[in-house]
């Protein structure tokens, strides 16, 4: 080969080896993704004030461990979504429905307690409505930002609480929802009917993801459904002999959750092909939570069937509420040390449990593909 041509080939190869990684780093490929914002959709497992703003305020002793007062969370302290915010160095996400003191500069939380993927469950704020709220939020934010910018003739900084329109396509979109589709189904129909409803539940979920994608969303962080059969409320309400597994969870309920998760995984494989610009990470919350329950005592927790606040007398009585049942008054106050309990109130996890789970999922140990959250933009 001509020496000049050879030198050109070698130069091209050199630039390929050196330049390509630099391009990846610039796009978040090999370095941190540096998401500018997070938008979350879900139920009470990630609700930071939505249901409290819309309906009844979540009262004390909720919030007692970390915030020192009720914070709109059904927990004694922080939720997994709060630990995600801390990991990404963001403020805690404000609820979209909360009209007082909200800051949406780095995202918003559309999750509300009781929400399900399909309409008709415990809450009117099903996933489709949450996505509609996001679309409205994005449209109104873009209009307001552009209006402020066009009227800003003195170069005064744009209000810091407003999201930046150009950052919607760079944000991380999180989904933590489906538990109530199962729980509501178990209460109002047979397990066979709930199992048969899974394809429709996931078809509705798929439509929601595709809507966010059409709005420019590219990075998705999806939690599968936890072991609903390991919630104290499910265990105490179980009336079938032989339906408890080796660690004390309701087998039949967990089998339905596992089937939903199996089909969810297949759906996300399909969506990765149909949405070529999307980067979708699936988080195996089921395995992480089941592991915690199975290791409860060695991790310093009491029996998984115990919970800190509220009570169970054939049905669940709310944490912090004074209630009269058959002439008996139940105070339903909190225990002295919530950190010893995996469950806060029989349905929701304690802050200590949420921290344990967050520590185990954010490093990529339970992710598909196996990437930590700050590298989720690389997911294929």
Closest C-alpha among 36, 56, 49 to residue 110: 49
DSSP of 329-343 = EE--PBPS-GGG-SB
Tell me if residue 44 is catalytic.
Answer: yes
Separation of alpha carbons 92 and 47, rounded Å:
11
Tell me if residue 345 is catalytic.
Answer: yes
**91, 95, 99, 105: CA torsion to nearest 10:** 40
Catalytic residue among 126, 223, 316, 348, which?
Answer: 348
Write phi, then psi, for 200 (nearest 5 degrees). -70, -40
Tell me if residue 348 is catalytic.
Answer: yes
Catalytic residue among 44, 46, 234, 311, which?
Answer: 44
Separation of alpha carbons 94 and 110, rounded Å:
9
Sheet of 38-42: strand order equals 107-109, 38-42, 172-176, 219-223, 279-283, 367-368
Closest C-alpha among 335, 367, 332 to residue 350: 335
Catalytic residue among 43, 47, 345, 374, which?
Answer: 345
Separation of alpha carbons 173 and 165, rounded Å:
15
Active site residues: 44, 345, 348
């Amino acid at each position: 080969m001509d020496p000049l041509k050879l030198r050109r080939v070698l130069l091209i190869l050199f630039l390929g080896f050196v330049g390509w990684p630099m391009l990846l780093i610039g796009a978040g490929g090999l370095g941190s993704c540096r998401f500018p914002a997070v938008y979350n959709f879900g139920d009470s497992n990630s609700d930071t004030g939505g249901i409290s703003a819309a309906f009844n305020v979540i009262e004390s002793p909720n919030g007692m461990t970390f915030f020192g007062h009720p914070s709109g969370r059904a927990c004694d302290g922080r939720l997994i979504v709060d630990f995600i915010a801390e990991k990404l160095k963001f403020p805690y996400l404000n609820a979209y429905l909360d009209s007082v003191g909200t800051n949406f500069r780095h995202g918003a939380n559309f999750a509300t307690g009781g929400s399900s993927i399909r309409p008709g469950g415990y809450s009117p704020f099903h996933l489709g409505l949450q996505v509609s709220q996001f679309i409205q939020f994005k449209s109104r934010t873009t209009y307001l930002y552009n209006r402020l910018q066009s009227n800003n003739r003195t170069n005064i900084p744009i209000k810091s609480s407003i999201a930046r329109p150009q950052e919607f396509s760079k944000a991380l979109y999180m989904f933590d929802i489906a538990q109530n589709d199962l729980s509501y189904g178990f209460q109002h129909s047979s397990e066979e009917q709930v199992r048969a409803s899974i394809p429709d539940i996931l078809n509705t979920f798929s439509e929601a993801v595709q809507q966010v994608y059409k709005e420019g969303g590219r990075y998705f962080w999806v939690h599968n459904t936890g072991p609903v059969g390991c919630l104290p409320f499910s265990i105490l309400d179980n009336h079938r002999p032989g339906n408890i597994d080796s660690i004390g969870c309701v087998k039949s309920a967990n089998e339905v959750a596992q089937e939903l998760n199996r089909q969810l995984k297949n759906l996300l494989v399909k969506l990765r092909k149909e949405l070529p610009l999307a980067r979708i990470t699936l988080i195996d919350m089921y395995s992480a939570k089941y592991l915690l329950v199975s290791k409860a005592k060695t991790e310093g927790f009491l029996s998984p069937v115990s919970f800190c606040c509220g009570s169970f007398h054939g049905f669940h009585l709310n944490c912090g509420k004074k209630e009269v049942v058959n002439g008996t008054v139940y105070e339903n106050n909190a225990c002295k040390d919530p950190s010893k309990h995996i469950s806060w109130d029989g349905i929701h996890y304690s802050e200590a449990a949420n921290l344990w789970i967050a520590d185990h999922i954010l490093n990529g140990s339970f992710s598909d593909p196996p990437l930590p959250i700050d590298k989720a933009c690389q997911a294929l």
